[in-house]
Structure 1
Amino acid sequence: KVVEWKHPHELEKLMDLKIKEDGTSKPTLLDMCRQIVKYSVKTGKDTLLN
């Protein structure tokens, strides 16, 4: 599989993307970013060059 792309609406269903009123810890925020990157298109990869 080259890409595990998910539409933003699908990401909302897969993940809890809400940041609480009292904030979110750095590790939690980093984990959220990692999950978003996992399901994003990485346009710098050689498998996606035209």
Structure 2
Amino acid sequence: MSLSTLYNFLIYDVLGNTLSTLLITGAGYTVKKICSRSRTQDEDNDQTPC
């Protein structure tokens, strides 16, 4: 494995996987927060959107 191949692997594959994991985790966290806020605001309503 040459140095340029290793560099390309580290930059594109590892960095891409890390960024996509962070984006998916952040999106899930945001949806969870939005759902929990809507549940607390609509406690009188039995049907929740999430």
User: Fold-level match, TM-score > 0.5?
Assistant: no
Larger Rg: 2
TM-score by length of 2: 0.30
TM-score by length of 1: 0.30
Determine which structure has the larger helix proportion and give its number.
2
* Structure of higher RCO (CA pairs closer than 8 Å, 6+ residues apart): 1
